[in-house]
Chains A and B, each alone.
Chain A
Amino acid sequence: MSRLLDVLGEFDRAAGPSGMETRVMNVVRKQGIAGGGDGADDVAETEATLGALARNDRAAASASLEDRIYMATRAILVHHANQLHEEREAVPSYRFGSTLMRCAAGLLLGGSVIWGYLAINPGESLKVKSAPTVATIADQSLEQRLDQQLDDLGNVFALAMVGSESETVGTGSLGTETDALEDWFQFDFVQGSDSL
């Protein structure tokens, strides 16, 4: 039985994939547990060569590289830094000035709006009252005729009053006054119908 188990063990060990040991060693080395390695499939040598190539490349730059970069860029840095300082220093006066400017602009704008409104819609105090336009409904000639007729009517009443006072005088004069009254009525009927 034990012999059979040994054979099975040997068979299982042989069934492991090729390169398994190397992969396990790489994983262990990455974890920092082991420091050694056989170097056959290891990348440490390549890594070291890469490090050497990188150092060589860094050293291959011109000796004056840093100086040239410094000379080319210091002006830019100083320029931006000065701009920043100027902006910082200018902040209080800038804000004060801008507030004043905003107030002035607001006043100007408000005044313009009010002036424009009043120009279009003037207020009561500014309105010039114009005389009311009354339609001319009366005719000048009609007015004159009405006055004349009123005068004539007044004359009739006056004559009537005079007649009542002169009854004692005689009937002759009374006849004369009656004729005059007839004339007036005749005139009034003719003229009055025209006027109506």
Chain B
Amino acid sequence: MTDLRIGTPGSPPPAPPQDLPQILQAAGEGDERAWRQIIDLYARRIYALAKSRLGASRHDLAEEITQSVFVTVASKLGKSNEGPIGYTEQGRFESWLFRVAMNRIRDEVRRARRQAEPTDPASLNSAAPVDGVESERDLPENLLALRKAMEQLSDADREVVELRHHAGLSFKQIADLLSEPLGTLLARHHRALKKLKDMMSGTAEPTSQGATP
């Protein structure tokens, strides 16, 4: 079995293997090799999605969310022949998997917003975990600027960008996941990229975070 991990920077997320339905069925029947293959395929994509959404400083939380997503998937795959209770393969595994991940990430974002509403901006900066900051220290300047610009995007724009680039989904899969027309998503993605570019070049005012598009 080939190593499907996406650990090397520069390598794009691989396309799903042709025999993905067979792999899923084998995993559902308890085949540990097939299950390992699924983890190798998708773990880092989910992690990157969570990390980008929650912020680079929430490295541990992103890993925890990734693990909890796979716990959910393992439970559903094990019940895959029980109809509506479990997962039934219909060629939409990736959409379903990242929907589970997105729901988990959204819950975490809501919880974080509810719990931490500091009145003093200085206290927010001082409360940032140190390990996250250190992990970002090696990041090239343009990537740092892009991450900051992404934090200024609205939730809807940011979701499309992250699902496209961090999760590596196709626009059709994103449209399926978000239940929106494909044309709307293409336009939103292009508009978001334009905003990012403008923000990075300093020609645009940052939009308020979490605002609707």
Contacts and interface: CB of A to CB of B under 8 A. Distances in A.
Interface of A: 26, 30, 43, 45-47, 49-63, 65-66, 68-70, 72-74, 76-85
B63 A65 contact: yes
B79 interface: yes
A50 B165 contact: yes
A46 B185 CA distance: 17
B74 interface: yes
Given A50-B161, A50-B193, A70 B36 contact: yes
A61 B77 contact: no
Interface of B: 5-13, 27-30, 32, 35-36, 39-40, 43-45, 47-48, 51-52, 56, 59, 62-63, 66-67, 70-71, 73-75, 77-79, 81-82, 135, 139-140, 142-143, 146-147, 161, 165-166, 168, 186, 190, 193-194, 196-197, 200
Contact of A81 (B28, B47, B51): B28
A28 to B, nearest CB: 14
A53 B30 contact: no
B43 A56 contact: no
Contact of A80 (B47, B79, B168): B79
| 5 A-B pairs with the lowest CB-CB distances in the bound complex, closest first | A80-B78, A81-B30, A43-B193, A57-B48, A58-B44
A140 to B, nearest CB: 89
Contacts of A70: 35-36, 39
B35 A73 contact: yes
Contact of B74 (A43, A59, A80): A80
B67 A54 contact: no
Contacts of A51: 12, 165
Contacts of A77: 27, 30, 32, 35, 74, 77-78
Contacts of A50: 146, 161, 165, 193, 196
A144 B67 CA distance: 113
Contacts of A59: 6-9, 44
Contact of A69 (B66, B147, B166): B66
A65 B9 CA distance: 16
A56 B78 contact: no
Nearest to A26: B190
Contacts of B70: 69, 72-73
B67 A58 contact: no
A84 B81 contact: yes
A68 B70 CA distance: 11
A77 B86 CA distance: 12
Contact of A84 (B47, B79, B147): B79
B78 A84 contact: yes
B44 A79 contact: no
B78 A53 contact: no
B38 to A, nearest CB: 10
Nearest to A53: B143
Given A47-B193, A61-B43, A69-B43, A54 B74 contact: no
B67 A72 contact: yes
A83 B165 contact: no
Contacts of B197: 43, 45-46
Given A51-B165, A69-B43, A74-B35, 5 more contacts: A50-B193, A52-B9, A55-B6, A58-B13, A70-B35
12 contacts: A26-B190, A47-B193, A49-B142, A54-B166, A55-B11, A58-B7, A58-B9, A58-B166, A59-B6, A65-B44, A65-B47, A66-B39
A84 B30 CA distance: 10
Contacts of A52: 9-10, 140, 143
B132 to A, nearest CB: 10
